[in-house]
Structures are given as C-alpha cells and as structure tokens.
Amino acid sequence: MRTPRLLVRPALVGLIALAAGAPALSGCDSGGSAVCPTDVAFDIEDVTPDSVQAGDAIQQGDCISVAYVGRVAESGGIFSRGDDRRFVFPNDSRLPRGFILGLAGQQVGETRIVTVPPNLGYGPVDVNAGVEGLADVPSCSVLEFEITLNRIYQDNRSCSGS
C-alpha cells in the first residue's frame, strides 16, 4: 500500500531545518553553471508491504545497514545501488543530503521512496557513475531513492571501515 507521508519527529524536524538553510540553485553563476529547478519538493513515500512488521526507528548516532536503489527521476536510469550499505546516521558525507534526510525516523524493515530535489542531491554537477551498466546523473537532476532499512547494529564497530 502506497501512503505518502512526511514524518514529523524531532530528528527529522532538525534535519529538515538544516536543509532548509541550503541555498536554492536558481541561476547561473559566473562560470556558467546549469540552472537548477527550485520547484521540486522533497518527499518521502512509505511503500512498505502491509505484511512487513516494522521494527525500531533510526536515531542519531546509530550504525545502520540499508539496501537502496538510486534513480534519475526523469529517465528512471539507475545510478547507484547497494544491499548492505553501512554507516553511522546521519554522518556519511559521501551520500546526498536528501538521502540522509529521507532516512530520519525510518524503522527496520520499512521501505521508502525518497524524492530528492537538486539542491539536496548533486545540484548543478554532472556525476559520472564510473561503473558499466549504471547511469550518469545529469546536472540539476531530481533523484529518487528506494531505501529499505535492513538493520540497526548495537555496536558502531559494525560501521568501521564502511
């Protein structure tokens, strides 16, 4: 059952407030960068099957494991995927900010589709996937991530070296 929702929890409110302070990309800079749309909304949609019993929710500082697929919204091309991506929430600077925001409050077993506008994704930068079979991400792309929270580890050492 697809139920759009934006969870309002203290951690999410704080992260959204942080993101709201991000500059909107609405014009070209002196270097001729692409003009990114600013009218795309950040969105979280719960697509967890009714048969799944969700578990504990992510909290700041948790070591987590997620399975995800990242797509370019316009083309549907897959640019990234993983079955056991581990990191301490929300501290993985290698991920787009919208990906991290989409995890806030997520429960073990829950699956979400997170729509990420350019200012919370890669912005006016072309991203080359660098892997055969994966799509490149054109500048100013809206991203969609399907994210399932696999596990919350009791020991953050499970995230060491990830």
**Could you state, in order of their start, the residue ranges of all structural domains in the chain?**
3-20+42-127+135-155
pLDDT of 130: 84
Give the residue from 158, 126, 129, 123 showing the smallest Cα distance to 19. Answer: 123
pLDDT of 34: 75
Distance CA 37, CA 29 (A): 14
Q: Read off φ and ψ for residue 56, nearest 5 degrees.
A: -65, 150
pLDDT of 6: 45
pLDDT of 4: 46
Distance CA 5, CA 25 (A): 26
Q: Look at domain 3-20+42-127+135-155 and name its CATH class.
A: alpha beta
pLDDT of 58: 96
pLDDT of 161: 63
Output the CA torsion sign for 80, 81, 85, 88.
Answer: positive
What single string gives the DSSP state of each residue in 21-64? TSPP--S--TT-PPPPPS-PPPEEEE---TT----PBP-TT-EE
pLDDT tens digits, 80-95: 999 999 999 998 778 8
Distance CA 143, CA 98 (A): 9
Spans in the chain with pLDDT lower than 70: 1-33, 161-162
